Amino acid sequence: MKVNSRKTILILSILMALQMTSFVIILPLFPRRFDELGAGVEALGISAMAYALTSALAAPFMGALADRFGRRPLVLGSLAAYTASFIGYLLAPSVAAIVVLRACAGAFTAGLFPAVTGLAADLAPQDRRAQWISFIHGGAAFGWIAGPIAGGMLYDRWGYSTALLVSIATAAITFIVALLFVPESRPAYTPALSGVAPIPTSARSRATGSRTKSLRLAWLEFRSSLPPSLASFFVLLFIFFVVLFAWAFIEPRFMFYAYNDLGWSSSTLGLMMSTYGVAMLVGELTLGRLSDRWGRKPVITLGLVLFSAQFIGMAFFRDYLLIAAAFLLAGLGNALYDPALSASILDISPAEHRARILGIKSMVGSSGSILGPALVARLNASLSARSIFLIAVSMVVLTTIVVLVDQARERYTHTALSTEAGAGTTVSGEMMKEGEL
């Protein structure tokens, strides 16, 4: 059955809007719930780390499953796992139970973003890839607008249980939408051969019974599923690692800082997170195609610079409006770098292994989300909130410099190759002239 690409992208955008809304409704409420249960920043950091750890371990395997068996089963399975985990958060009697539930949720929902983004990449024209991915991210950005406001207001008026019930209902509706309307788009599965010479059948037979040769063949097949340019791939993964590390590093302290030092209510914190979401949504819908036109790296660089504004705002301002302005700039930065980064990775990835590559990307990002809370839990007692925010700024600035250096390297390589090609053409022309004479 032929898939209507534009209709499917619209459905995926709606799907991500609903899913992110249900997820973010409860995000500002975890500190409140942990405080009720007698826990603080360290416990919140451990719960975030548990979610990220299991997600990191599961993401590459989930991505490979999406390439092998299809995008749709992974989407449905992940959405069902979200619904189940939210029910668990409602019933959990202790911090330990919430930590275990978040760990399970991380493992069983890790396939959602690789599958959804892979589905969008399967359908997108080459010259509009970043724009179509932006539409998907724009749906998620809507969730960042609606979720925190709804969660904060529901908690302030009716408490934790009511907010969780609304989150559960929204997650269930999301699953039903996916069940009814999400199609399959997976390219025909073939053994991984891109970028590496095919492995002869004779080599396979000789490797039987030999552990060393079997491992070598397995490595060659895995390597062939990766982008040909590993240097470029690693730089892109490093960018994603740092931006998620930076946010995960400040998130537990930021939420308690907002409540205890700045005196914000749950609604106020939710409104601030929604400010970020508004900027991200507007940016995704209006600026998504910039990297298709201007190139990926310049847009990623600009996005990182703007993304760092939120950390600067929290480090130097206490006024709500000034912090909100910083979050607006950061949301625009996220809208710039994120689609460009995903499109950059997909540009160099074998088509039949897109979801696996996106799973590896998710794994690396989750690693940042593991190390960030782990480090802040260890340093929380010895560092002020401002110091933590400034460390996050420094990391994003360092990453921006890495992107600029990599961009210069690519230009140098391109110039060198062009020069060699031009020299080769000149030599060939001279030889032809000599032959004519």
Average pLDDT over residues 306-334: 93
Banded pLDDT at 141 (limits 50, 70, 90): confident
| pLDDT, averaged across the chain | 82
Least confident span in 51-55, 313-317, 387-391: 51-55
Of the two residues 215 and 79, the one the predictor is more confident about is 79
Band (175; pLDDT cuts 50, 70, 90)? very high
Residue 197 in domain? no
Domain that holds residue 297: 5-182+218-424
Task: Read off the pLDDT band of 197 (50, 70, 90).
Answer: very low
Q: Smallest Cα–Cα separation from 63: which of 292, 364, 339, 341?
A: 364
In this structure, is residue 99 part of a structural domain? yes
**Across 249-274, average pLDDT:** 84
Q: What is the mean pLDDT of residues 203-214?
A: 54
In the chain, the number of structural domains is 1
Has residue 424 got a pLDDT over 80? no
Beta-carbon-side half-sphere exposure of residue 345 (alpha carbons within 13 Å): 30
- Distance separating alpha carbons of residues 229 and 231, to the nearest angstrom: 5
CB neighbours of residue 374 within 10 Å = 18
Tell me how many degrees the CA angle 309-266-150 measures, rounded to the nearest 5.
95
Which pLDDT belongs to residue 65? 85
Q: Rounded to whole angstroms, how far apart are CA atoms 40 and 46?
A: 10
Which tokens in the block code for residue 205? 């037979």
Has residue 142 been placed in a domain?
yes
Has residue 350 got a pLDDT over 60?
A: yes
Stretch 123-142: mean pLDDT: 81
Query: What is the percentage of the chain residues whose pLDDT exceeds 90?
Result: 26
The whole-number average pLDDT for the span 214-229 is 71
Query: For position 365, what pLDDT does the model report?
Result: 84
CB atoms < 10 A from the CB of 157, how many?
11
Is residue 196 domain-resident? no
Residue 358, domain member (yes or no): yes
pLDDT value for 195: 43
CA-to-CA distance for 270 and 277, rounded, in angstroms?
A: 10
Count CB-CB contacts under 10 A for residue 228. Answer: 14
The region of weakest confidence among 176-185, 213-222, 391-400, 406-415 is: 213-222
User: How would residue 196 be classed by pLDDT, with cut points 50, 70 and 90?
Assistant: very low
Q: Measured between alpha carbons, how far is 236 from 274 in angstroms, rounded to an integer? A: 27
> What pLDDT does 86 receive?
92
Would residue 213 count as lying in a domain?
A: no
pLDDT given at position 397: 93
Average of per-residue pLDDT across 391-395: 93
- Kindly indicate the confidence band of residue 304, based on its pLDDT and cuts at 50, 70 and 90: very high
Predicted pLDDT of residue 214: 66
Structural contact between residues 120 and 132, judged by C-beta atoms closer than 8 angstroms: yes
pLDDT at 329: 95
110 found inside a domain:
yes
What average pLDDT does range 27-44 have in this prediction? 80
Distance between CA 356 and CA 189 in Å, rounded?
12
Q: Is residue 199 part of a domain?
A: no
Q: Which of 64-78, 268-282, 387-401, 403-417 has the highest mean pLDDT?
A: 387-401
Cα–Cα nearest to 230, from 194, 200, 190, 199: 194
Domain of 370, CATH number, reads 1.20.1250.20
User: Where do we find the tokens 């939710």?
Assistant: 270
Tokens found for residue 331: 């949301």
- Is the overall model pTM greater than 0.95, yes or no? no
